[in-house]
Amino acid sequence: MCSTGASGRQSTDVARSEPVIFGGLVALLAAGALAASGMMAARLRTVPASASAALDHIPQRFAGWRAIEDMDGTLAPWRFDAFGHPVEIYDRVVSRTYTDAAGHRVMLMLAYQRQQFQEERVHSPELCYFAQGFVLSARRGLLVVLPGGPATARGFTGNASGRREDVVYWIRTGDTLTSSSLLIRLQVLLYALRGRIVDGLLVRASIIAVPGDGLDPTSRQALLAGFLSALTFNSSRETRYMLAGPQGHVR
């Protein structure tokens, strides 16, 4: 009786302390986690607000192209709240129409966002066109020659009630050029884990098909790729970096 009483007492002590240990440990860990996340967030470095000044110096004339219409600050927005009001998600937008000697009219759209997070990122134009009722075709990756060497951009054709528009774009996320949402998500995470909240820029050129221009989607997209390449080559050093990151510089 005596011995079982002693061991019984011991086991109730253990049973009594186990919940307290578990509860205490979990509470301590939770407090630690909250503190750690606060410290991690405080350690994040962002791009200075002055960086977007590079977008003031997008050349007006280059390689046979000249700007004919400036719609700076306005943007064909693709995100709306429920009442068709555009949702401002970009810090800076450059929107311009250029023309060349042959009469082609290319629309350039640069959309800049200084801080990239998982749910607040530069969005791919494919979705934008799709959500506005365009049917997408001729989607492909194409090579664009940049000062740092060839890079991959994406092209597609959008069709909506008689309007036919070809688009070529890339998205710069920090120092990398990508066009896939998933890869951008991954890049944003990898940069952030290393303490960097990077900026993002959508570089997009598009051209509306005009009857009798004698161009097919492939040659229209090649024209756009050439336009973006020439734009980058003819920009200042800061602007080249803004457009294409390290790919904007000769290695």
Partner 1 sequence: MIVGSPNYNGAARVEAEREALLLLLGAIALVVVPTVLDIAATFWSRADDTDGPLVLAASVFGLWRLRGTFNWHCAAAIRALALPFAVLGLCAFVIGHSLRFYQLEGGGAVCFTWACLSRIADRPVAGRVNFLCAILLFVVPFPASLADALLVPMKLMLAHAVVTTFSAMGFPVASHGVLLSIGFDQLAVADACAGLRSLLSLCAVGLLFVYFVPSRKVAHQVVLLALLPVIALLANFRRVSLLVLITYYFGADWGESAHNLAGYAEVAFTVSLFLLLHHVLNRGIRSAEH
Is residue 109 involved in binding partner 1 (CB under 8 A)? no
Is residue 1 involved in binding partner 1 (CB under 8 A)? no
**And the tokens for 2?**
């005596």
- Tell me which of 60, 132, 219, 236 binds partner 1, using CB under 8 A: 132
- Tell me which of 11, 60, 97, 118 binds partner 1, using CB under 8 A: 118
Is residue 2 involved in binding partner 1 (CB under 8 A)? no
Residue 131, phi then psi, degrees to nearest 5 = -70, -25
Q: Count the site residues for partner 1 by CB under 8 A.
A: 50
Is residue 162 involved in binding partner 1 (CB under 8 A)? no
- Tell me which of 6, 10, 11, 25 binds partner 1, using CB under 8 A: 25
Complete DSSP assignment for the chain: -HHHHHHHHHHHHHHHHHHHHHHHHHHHHHHHHHHHHHHHHHT-EE--GGGGGGGGG--SEETTEEEEEE-TT------B-TTSPBP---SEEEEEEEE-TT--EEEEEEEEES---SSS-PPPHHHHHHHTTPEEEEEEEEEEEETTEEEEEEEEEEEETTEEEEEEEEEEETTEEE--HHHHHHHHHHHHHTTEE--EEEEEEEEE--TT----HHHHHHHHHHHHHHHHHTS-HHHHHHHHGGGGS--
In the complex, the smallest distance separating the C-beta of residue 154 from partner 1, rounded to whole angstroms, is 15
Is residue 190 involved in binding partner 1 (CB under 8 A)? no
Stretch that binds partner 1, among 20-28, 97-105, 211-219, 234-242 (CB under 8 A): 20-28
In the complex, the smallest distance separating the C-beta of residue 50 from partner 1, rounded to whole angstroms, is 23
- Tell me which of 7, 14, 50, 81 binds partner 1, using CB under 8 A: 81
- Tell me which of 10, 11, 36, 45 binds partner 1, using CB under 8 A: 36
- Tell me which of 53, 68, 131, 143 binds partner 1, using CB under 8 A: 131
Stretch that binds partner 1, among 65-73, 127-135, 148-156, 217-225 (CB under 8 A): 127-135
**And the tokens for 69?**
């219409």
| Residue numbers at the binding site for partner 1 (CB under 8 A) | 9, 12, 15-20, 22-27, 29-31, 33-34, 36-41, 44, 79-84, 87, 117-120, 127, 130-134, 160, 181-182, 185, 189, 192-193
